[in-house]
Amino acid sequence: MAPCTEEWNQRGKVFKNFEKLPESWDCQYDQLYLVRKPARGPRMDPINLLPYLPQAKWSPGPGDQGWHAMLCQVRKESQKCTRRKSLLKVRVMDFVTSTAILPLLFGCVGIFGVFKLLQWIRMKAYLRNAVVVVTGATSGLGRECARVFYSAGAKLVLCGRNREALEELTKELASLATKVQTHKPYMVTFDLADPGAIAAATAEILQCFGHVDVLINNAGISYRGAIVDTTTDVDKKVMETNYFGPVALTKALLPSMIKRRQGHIVAISSVQGKISIPFRSAYAASKHATQAFFDCLRAEMEQYEIEVTVISPGYIHTNLSLNAVTADGSTYGVMDKTTAQGRSPAEVARDVLAAVGKKKKDVILADLLPSLAIYLRTLAPGLFFRLMASRARKERKSKNS
Ligand SMILES: NC(=O)c1ccc[n+]([C@@H]2O[C@H](COP(=O)([O-])OP(=O)(O)OC[C@H]3O[C@@H](n4cnc5c(N)ncnc54)[C@H](OP(=O)(O)O)[C@@H]3O)[C@@H](O)[C@H]2O)c1
């Protein structure tokens, strides 16, 4: 049977070499179309065949210079109504592609651009002259947060344990070239892990500019060790620094924010506040507690219009692992490969600025793998636990070898 129907000749651009249908082909299909298909890659359906495709039967045809011919057979009775529909579809497609789509596309891009611009202007206005307190400003992410918020025109209160490092940072900030009017930062030194120091520090912070708009709870300490070897004092030290200290400072500053019905609390948590990895128990526990506390705070503060943002970064290239505490309380003193390969603190600080400016509620600043791990922990906990157990085995083995 020769397949050259009229329809075929109109569309059969490829089919010229095909003489006979294979015998196995079903002849109750009386419309035959040839469609070119690259040897590798998707089928290229002619647009006017699309309406028939649900009823079509596909069979592989002969090869043609790297193309596979495909025969599409369409049942006779299904054609009349589908042809009318097809005409309509083609007209709609023509209309969309010719007249409507381009203005629509430009319109959407324009609206999106204007929206982004307004968001940017609002963000700049929100942060300019805002009183921003940064804890752990002496190093790493805190230091970079100080730089970006200072450059955005914020009035800074820099907190840390090391007065000299804070003074050095203040000098560095003064030498920054900025586009907006800047303000000389204040410095407040105290140890977050000392519960007795919080009240005096809060009073000093409030004296600087009279109020606080944004508190960035950034200071933190990491930990490396096996649970069985770790003293409870070490667990407490990590919890005091990463959890009880920030919680106490936040609670101490809240009344003044509630009174003004204005304020923004930021908690720098970690991906390890969402998933726990072996040999980081105290750190992961402190960050899980941080996430939980500030999630509760967000809900409770909504009535006072106080914002709460929890930021969970992945690895950042800072001194965190060098300063980490070990099972016996000594300093770890090693720059971990993962930390060394982490994101630059300046980049993360810019993301923190954007998250605060946009009043985001919960932000994960991590690569694909940690982000996937967070979903895996929720969707397939069994698999996640097996992966973590295998990681623990490998880490133990590499330590023993
Ligand atoms: N680096 C990462 O891979 C990573 C990933 C996720 C989350 N984070 C989080 O990011 C935050 C900043 O850490 P970082 O990476 O910038 O580490 P970092 O360079 O070690 O900085 C930690 C900061 O916290 C301060 N700090 C530590 N203990 C303190 C205490 N008891 N009282 C007051 N300040 C104290 C340190 O001050 P001193 O100079 O006085 O020690 C330092 O300024 C932490 O909350 C950390 O958990 C880091």
DSSP category for residue 322: T
Ligand 1 within 6 A of CB of 141:
yes
384 in any annotated domain: no
User: 320 alpha carbon to ligand 1 midpoint, in Å?
Assistant: 6
User: 137 alpha carbon to ligand 1 midpoint, in Å?
Assistant: 8
- Whether the Cβ atoms of residue 182 and residue 230 lie closer than 8 Å to each other: no
Alpha-carbon distances, residue 48 vs 44, 52, 93 (angstroms): 12, 8, 11
Whether the per-residue pLDDT at 287 is higher than 50: the answer is yes
> Which is it for the CA torsion 256, 257, 259, 260, positive or negative?
positive
Ligand 1 within 6 A of CB of 69:
no
Whether the per-residue pLDDT at 207 is higher than 50: the answer is yes
Residue 212 and residue 280 in one domain: yes
Residue 255 and residue 314 in one domain: yes
Domain finish residue from 52, 77, 102:
77
For residue 82, the model assigns a pLDDT of: 56
33 in any annotated domain: yes
152 in any annotated domain: yes
Ligand 1 within 6 A of CB of 192:
yes
* DSSP line for 24-80: TS-TTEEEEEEEEEESSS-----GGGGGGGGG-EEEEEEEETTEEEEEEEEESTTHH
Number of domains composing the chain: 2
User: 160 alpha carbon to ligand 1 midpoint, in Å?
Assistant: 10
Ligand 1 within 6 A of CB of 127:
no
Phi, psi of 287 (to 5 degrees): -80, -35
Phi, psi of 63 (to 5 degrees): -75, 155
355 in any annotated domain: yes
137 in any annotated domain: yes
pLDDT (tens digit, 9 = 90+) per residue, 134-147? 999 999 999 999 99
Provide the CB-side half-sphere exposure for 212 (13 A, CA): 31
For residue 260, the model assigns a pLDDT of: 97
Domain finish residue from 77, 92, 116:
77
- Residue in 52, 186, 243, 283 annotated catalytic: 283
User: 379 alpha carbon to ligand 1 midpoint, in Å?
Assistant: 31
- Whether the Cβ atoms of residue 195 and residue 248 lie closer than 8 Å to each other: yes
Residue 195 and residue 307 in one domain: yes
Longest Cα–Cα distance of the chain, Å, equals 97
3-state DSSP assignment of residue 14: coil
Active site residue 150: no
**Number of helices followed by number of strands (H, E) in the chain:** 13, 12
111 in any annotated domain: no
User: 174 alpha carbon to ligand 1 midpoint, in Å?
Assistant: 23
Residue 233 and residue 335 in one domain: yes
Residue 42 and residue 170 in one domain: no
pLDDT (tens digit, 9 = 90+) per residue, 228-266? 999 999 999 999 999 999 999 999 999 999 999 999 999
Residue 349 and residue 216 in one domain: yes
Instruction: Find the CATH number of the domain harbouring 314.
Output: 3.40.50.720
Residue 209 and residue 297 in one domain: yes
Residue 186 and residue 329 in one domain: yes
State the average pLDDT over residues 172-181.
Answer: 92
Domain finish residue from 77, 111, 136:
77
DSSP category for residue 316: B
From 93-102, 254-263, 274-283, the region with the lowest mean pLDDT = 93-102
Residue among 162, 189, 272, 320 whose CB has most ligand 1 atoms within 8 A, to mutate: 320
Structure token pair of residue 125? 């206005």
Domain that holds residue 196: 128-366
* DSSP line for 171-225: HHHHT---SS---PPEEEE--TT-GGGHHHHHHHHHHHHSS-SEEEE-----EE-
3-state DSSP assignment of residue 340: helix
Nearest to 345 by CA among 140, 136, 137: 140
Instruction: Measure the CA–CA gap between 310 and 243, rounded to whole angstroms.
Output: 13
For residue 118, the model assigns a pLDDT of: 83
399 in any annotated domain: no
Whose structure tokens read 């991906």? 271
Ligand 1 within 6 A of CB of 220:
yes
Residue 162 and residue 267 in one domain: yes
Residue 42 and residue 175 in one domain: no
Residue 46 and residue 170 in one domain: no
User: Which ligand 1 atom sits closest to the C-alpha of 192?
Assistant: 32
Structure token pair of residue 122? 């609002």
Whether the per-residue pLDDT at 154 is higher than 80: the answer is yes
Ligand 1 within 6 A of CB of 315:
yes
Residue 65 and residue 134 in one domain: no
Ligand 1 within 6 A of CB of 241:
yes
* DSSP line for 216-277: EE-----EE--GGG--HHHHHHHHIIIIIHHHHHHHHHHHHHHHHT-EEEEEE--GGGTS--
- Whether the Cβ atoms of residue 192 and residue 240 lie closer than 8 Å to each other: yes
392 in any annotated domain: no
Residues 6+ apart with CB under 8 A from 283: 221, 222, 223, 238, 242, 270, 272, 324
pTM of the complete model beyond 0.95: no
Structure token pair of residue 291? 């996430």
Structure token pair of residue 216? 């960035």
pLDDT (tens digit, 9 = 90+) per residue, 208-231? 999 999 999 999 999 999 999 999
